[in-house]
Structure 1
């Protein structure tokens, strides 16, 4: 873990920083398939919904500044999927690859395990090799690929589904 990073639960006052990190990724990367920046109002609504539903939103602070955030929530809105969650981790552009994301992911996984959740999924742009490696380092495995399901920057994009079994040992095979 990066020595000067503090991971904590987010509060509503963190939402502008969360928004700034997210919108940078929207505009410059395929980490999100949103095509345009989202508004502060929509991100506040998102945050309030997460809080009301009891889903975690975590932030990483460095030198008193929010530099990353992470969350998870329901994979599908059906009772049979209650033990499965999908997560997101976003790190500010200048901090990627420096251990901030690892600190957040470790805290996110600990929270999910405390809640006795069964599976955590990540849906990742198939060309994002750094994110795929990041997830593999936590034991996630590629379990599926969807071809040309998204479109951004004037090209079709594939996604990979990565899965981590939270309460049992991880699967030993990968479809990658």
Structure 2
């Protein structure tokens, strides 16, 4: 069965679908390190902050249904980090493992490159093999693990940090 995935910039009408995908990740996974689902007011504020800062939110649509979203935003708040961004890629249950995440990730990598960003970072729960594979296949490399820095579902979580150089002029490959 052939599936056509369309990517487009998200708009306000997508926020309920984005909220549903986001809250499913909160309830069922260690992808988002918070215990309580959020409401539409929170997602609207998040979306408005992304738009105001010029950070994209992209949705993946299959048969007129939003099945995933991706974005990037600031990695750290200090100005010295302004050319480094952190990505987020989330898919609805039933749409994982079909290449949609890779398509979304490739699009936000392209958008970050076009925006002149230097590095994209992925902060991934160290046991999330699917996300680690997705990022490895997209050219990210693991650069470190911070042990037991989060907790969810009654257990301590390790954070794997991965990075992708977006602009390689003057990039010191030996340092990675």
**Range of TM-score over shorter length:** over 0.9
5+ residue gaps in structure 2? none
Structure 1 contact 139–170 (Cα < 8 Å) conserved = no
Structure 1 contact 140–170 (Cα < 8 Å) conserved = no
1:1-176 alignment, distance < 5 Å: 3-168=3-168, 171=173
CA 13–31 in structure 1, closer or farther in 2 if over 3 Å, else same: same
SS at 2:161's partner residue?
Answer: strand
CA 170–95 in structure 1, closer or farther in 2 if over 3 Å, else same: farther
In structure 2, C-alpha distance between the alignment counterparts of 1:137 and 1:54, rounded to whole Å: 27
* RMSD of Structure 2 on Structure 1 (CA): 1.5
5+ residue gaps in structure 1? none
In structure 1, C-alpha distance between the alignment counterparts of 2:52 and 2:175, rounded to whole Å: 37
State the 1:97 CA deviation.
0.7
TM-score (norm 2): 0.94
In structure 1, C-alpha distance between the alignment counterparts of 2:158 and 2:94, rounded to whole Å: 26
TM-score (norm 1): 0.94
Question: What whole-Å deviation, never above 9, does each CA across 1:65-111 have from its counterpart, x for those lacking one?
Answer: 00000000111111111110001000011111101111101110110
State the 1:34 CA deviation.
1.2
Structure 1 contact 165–171 (Cα < 8 Å) conserved = no
Structure 1 segments (4+ residues) deviating >3 Å: 169-174
In structure 1, C-alpha distance between the alignment counterparts of 2:132 and 2:53, rounded to whole Å: 29
Question: What whole-Å deviation, never above 9, does each CA across 1:122-155 have from its counterpart, x for those lacking one?
Answer: 0000001111111000110010101001100110
SS at 1:93's partner residue?
Answer: coil
Aligned length: 173
